[in-house]
Amino acid sequence: MFSNKKALLFDLDGTLVDSVGDLHMAVNEMLKSFDSPSVSVTHIKSWVGNGSFRLVERALANAKLTAIDLDVAHETFLSAYRNTHHANTTLCSGVKKALTYFLEKHFLMAIITNKPLQFVPELLEQQGIDQYFDMVLGGDSLAEKKPSPAPLLFVAQELNVDIDACLMIGDSETDILAANACGMQSVVLSEGYHQGIDVNQLGADAIIDSIDELIGLVNDPSDR
Tell me the one-letter amino acid at 182. C
Q: Omega into 149 within 30° of 0, i.e. cis?
A: no
What stretches of the chain show up as alpha helix (H) in DSSP?
Answer: 20-33, 41-47, 52-62, 70-84, 95-104, 120-126, 150-159, 173-181
Read off the DSSP letter of residue 62: H
Catalytic entry in 11, 22, 175, 212: 11
Q: Which amino acid is at 2?
A: F
DSSP string covering 133-168, please?
A: -SEEE-TTSSS--TTSSHHHHHHHHHHT--GGGEEE
Active site residue 130: no
Q: What end-to-end distance do the CA atoms of the chain give, in Å?
A: 12
Which active-site residues does the annotation give? Answer: 11
